[in-house]
A and B are shown apart, each in its own frame.
Chain A
Amino acid sequence: MNRYLKLVHLEVQRFRYVLFGLMALTLIIQSIAIVWTSRNEMSRIREHEAIRAYYAEHPYSFAFAVSNAYFWLAVPILISVVVLALYVFGIWYRDWFGRDTFAYRLLTLPTARRNVYLAKATAILLFVFSMVAFQLLAMPFYQWLFRLAVPADLREPASLAEAVRGSPVFELLIPTDFTQFLIYYGFGIIAVFIVFTAILLERSYRWRGIFYAIVYIAACLAAFFLPLLLPVMDGNHYLYRTEILAIMIGIAILILAASIALGFRLIARKITV
């Protein structure tokens, strides 16, 4: 356990500047977006009597500001998603294609090789959830900026949940419904393990491995989405929706377990350094 945690820390250290850079980028762009949108709206109010009269009846809220600024709020989030998605591959390949073949040192450490696999997976998930948590922490700061930009007589309070619902990207990233959060990020966790195992297939078998990896990913996707076709195939609606849901959850757990087991086997026995 100790060695596993040290490996996690090692992965975090290797990526920390990129992570902090993404956080800083998010904070800067989103702050500018909130302030610019709010001040723009205040200018419109000053210039147009009809808009001023409307806002006297329906004060401007932080939720509306988020809704109006949703594009620029989404840009740093999308950049972060792309960077983290690429790093799911990069966390492995940088070890093989770097100058010092770091993979050799990593895989000859006096620790079970599965700890390397688990540490990399943990690190990726830690980066993802850290970015999500950072977004949540930044929201009160953006609310404070909003209050600075909009006079008290023209604004009304809005809850964090309303603000999140104001942007479709926020609703996807930090859904207000906890079940949706579990489903979205559950899919994401399973996807990370599937990709990790596909990478290890490639590293184990090289050119043939690419083919195996593609087939493996396709098989996992097919297995997972097959229950969704059940209501279409089952013209008599024989299965209840709860049963289809249970089947899907069961298959997802099986795919996760199979990916981890296969990944352990590959990294322990197939990958040579």
Chain B
Amino acid sequence: MVKMKRYAVTLALVLLMAASLTTYYAYGAKLRLPEYRLQTLEGDPAEGAELRIEGSFVGGKGSYYLGVTAEGSEYGNDSLWQRLLYTGNAWIRRDIPDIGALYREHSQFMRGKTNENGFYHDKDWLVYADAEVVQPDLRLVWRIDVLETSTGQRIRYNGEGAEPLGQMDFVNVIDVQKAGDDIHVLTGQGRLGRPEEYRDEVFDAETGKPVRSVKLQLGEPSAPDRELQINYIAEQTLTAPNPHLVFIVEQLGTKSANPAESGVAAAADGAVAEAVPNDQRPKILSRSAMVYSYESGEMDSFPLTVESDESAPEEIWSSRLLVGDTLSILTAAKDAVTVTHYNVTDGSKAAETIIRADQIGQGEIKSALMANNRIYVLVKKDENTDMPIAAVADAADGRILYRGQPVLEDPNGRPQEQLDDVWLSYLGVRR
């Protein structure tokens, strides 16, 4: 005992250290944020399994990203270890199912790949294509990487395309497909301040070498005071085969004041656009879908609906999706979501699917998207802290298959005032 007394200070320090740090990391370091869960109000819970309602919890100090699913809450404070391991290659998202599968099945092939739009994958072939503008000549250099999965044979090509295109400031690989022995790399490319042009760069699948370069003709403005706005829609599943690519070409009534934006402007579609009041947007004079066939190299077109200013409700946003041969266009307003399906092979239009906000619950439509042959809609009464209702409908006929609402499962010691400070206004679908 006397001996132990001599070492009292040292022992006390060791005990202090062990007890404090263990208690802190076992218990004290947890934020103990409230737990929410998506509860089924009506319908098949399996339909709501992929839903995530997103927003933030702002109770207490700080604001935390919050995603609510049928399994519970996901707070956006991943541990450092999870961030270090998960993000892997920061250029390509591994949470996309088909991309994640490629990383698992072909990890060596996936090294050095930086463009998630550059993949093609079928049961026999895995192809990656990318391009970059090389300084100081500003010329385009292509990188083709082909793996024949049945034999393991790999072909690589790194060099210029089939035609000298002169100097370029930018190039974007939009889609990669394989048709027969040809690899088609659809790109947007051009010089700053000039309209972007779209080209189908064709490479030989056996050798990787360039074969030809085809410039796509997407039309011209019909008058000097008009401009074209072009969006492209590729197959929703990034790596899947699809013999078509669709361009939505809109002729706008007034030319933009900014010369860099005049003429053709394009963006990858499927994104949610910002709300713009009707009276500030250029007038859309016509809208058509131009369908490019990789196999034939031909471009077909069919007209799309243009809402008139008088009859159209205030449009909040629209999104477009290409799955196989079906082009689906979702238009969302505060009181209803309208989905129109087109067959891109012949331009035929199926009956419109309309889902009204009052079919789901009280309030306005805040978010809507399409995926997995379903339409997902979020309705909310109040802008702030009201709990929204999410619904899943069949994309073909608009039947409501599921309705759910986030509910509080465990306050985790938080006072009621903090629990009221949860803002859930966005819809996501777990891939």
Contact = CB atoms under 8 A, between A and B. Distances in A.
Interface residues of A, number: 46
Given A136-B28, A156-B417, A160-B28, A237 B112 contact: yes
Contact of A156 (B16, B23, B415): B415
A127 to B, nearest CB: 8
B299 to A, nearest CB: 35
B79 A179 contact: yes
Contact of A162 (B62, B112, B113): B62
Contact of B9 (A13, A157, A158, A180): A13
Given A12-B9, A130-B17, A159-B32, A63 B61 contact: yes
Interface in A172-205: 174, 176-181, 183
B61 A67 contact: yes
A207 interface: no
Given A166-B61, A179-B80, A237-B111, 10 more contacts: A9-B10, A12-B9, A133-B16, A136-B20, A161-B30, A161-B31, A165-B31, A177-B80, A178-B79, A241-B85
A183 B83 CA distance: 14
Contact of B114 (A13, A64, A129, A237): A237
Nearest to B24: A136
Contact of B21 (A57, A136, A156, A159): A136
Interface residues of B, number: 41
12 contacts: A8-B10, A9-B7, A126-B14, A126-B17, A134-B16, A136-B21, A159-B28, A162-B60, A162-B61, A166-B61, A237-B89, A241-B88
Contact of B29 (A19, A130, A161): A161
Interface string B71-98: 0000000011100110111110000000
A16 interface: yes
Given A176-B29, A178-B29, A179-B81, A156 B90 contact: no
Contacts of A178: 25, 29, 79
B17 A162 contact: no
Contacts of B32: 159, 161
A61 B60 contact: yes
A180 B6 CA distance: 36
Contacts of B80: 177, 179-180, 183
B60 A242 contact: no
Most buried by A among B87, B113, B418: B418
Interface string B391-415: 0000000000000000000000101
A166 to B, nearest CB: 6
Contacts of B10: 8-9, 12-13, 126
Interface in A37-75: 57, 59, 61, 63-64, 67
B13 interface: yes
